[in-house]
Structures are given as C-alpha cells and as structure tokens.
Amino acid sequence: MVTAILAIAIGFEREFHGHPAGIKTLGLVGVGACLFSGLGLEAFKGSTDPTRIAAQVVTGVGFLGAGAIMRQGNEVHGLTTAASIWVVAAIGMAVGFGFYVPAIFTTLLILAMLFLLRPIEHVLFHRYKKIQDAVEVKIVPP
C-alpha cells in the first residue's frame, strides 16, 4: 500500500502534465518492484541473494524506460518520463526491502523536482532556445 501511494503520487505529476506514463503505469511499476523485492527477501531466505532479484528489476525497468524515449529530429522526448519509471521502481524496491523512510524522502524529493523545477526550466532554458532559434541564420541552397 505504501508503494502504491508513493508511485501514484509521482504518476499524478506525470498525468497532470500530459505525459504518457501516468498514475496507472507508475503505480504498476512501483508495486511490481516492491513485490519482487519482498519476495526475493522473504521467499528465498538464505538460499538466494535478494540483490540478484533487485538487479533483474532494474534491468527490466530499463526496457520500460527505453520504450518511453522518443527521438524526433534533433529533439529527444520522454527522458524525464523514463527517469520517473526508473526512480519509481527504486522506490518500490526500497519499500519491498523495508526502507520506508528513504522511500518517502525520495518520493518527496522527486515530486519537488518535477513540480518546482519545471517553471525554472521554462524561464531559463526555453526562453534562451527561442532567442537562439530567432538569431540563427539559415542558409538555403539556390
């Protein structure tokens, strides 16, 4: 339940800003990572290193994140969404291994970054890009 709340909170931000991986996707990734971690810790006590399962979760989530990244010409879209999928899996694994405080702290930090850095990014970098595009001289062949 803790993982679902934390993952859905991050998914809400993605959904609110119209990005492809939202509440359902991030909720599923977080809960799945938590379940794999918990099972690895409890089901195979002493017989298997639980970090082996965690390593496989990271690999699998990497494929999900790669699917969220799109390239259009010189621009790349979906990197923040891919990073959100990755960090939600890490939060799910932290809860699955019993590290609730770091998981909650990380969720709050990620939400602050996603909500608070967006306006700063638009003011500083998108304005600069518009100026750069306007000043750029385009040479058209005869």
DSSP classification of residue 137: -
Closest CA to 17 of 63, 75, 81: 81
Task: Return d(Cα 124, Cα 88) in angstroms, integer.
Answer: 28
pLDDT at 48: 72
Task: Return d(Cα 13, Cα 24) in angstroms, integer.
Answer: 12
Question: Does the predicted model carry a pTM greater than 0.85?
Answer: no
Q: How many residues does the chain have?
A: 142
Contact 118, 56 (CB under 8 A): no
pLDDT tens-digit series, residues 72-129 = 777 778 888 899 999 999 999 999 999 999 999 999 999 999 988 888 887 877 666 6
pLDDT tens-digit series, residues 14-34 = 888 888 788 999 999 999 999
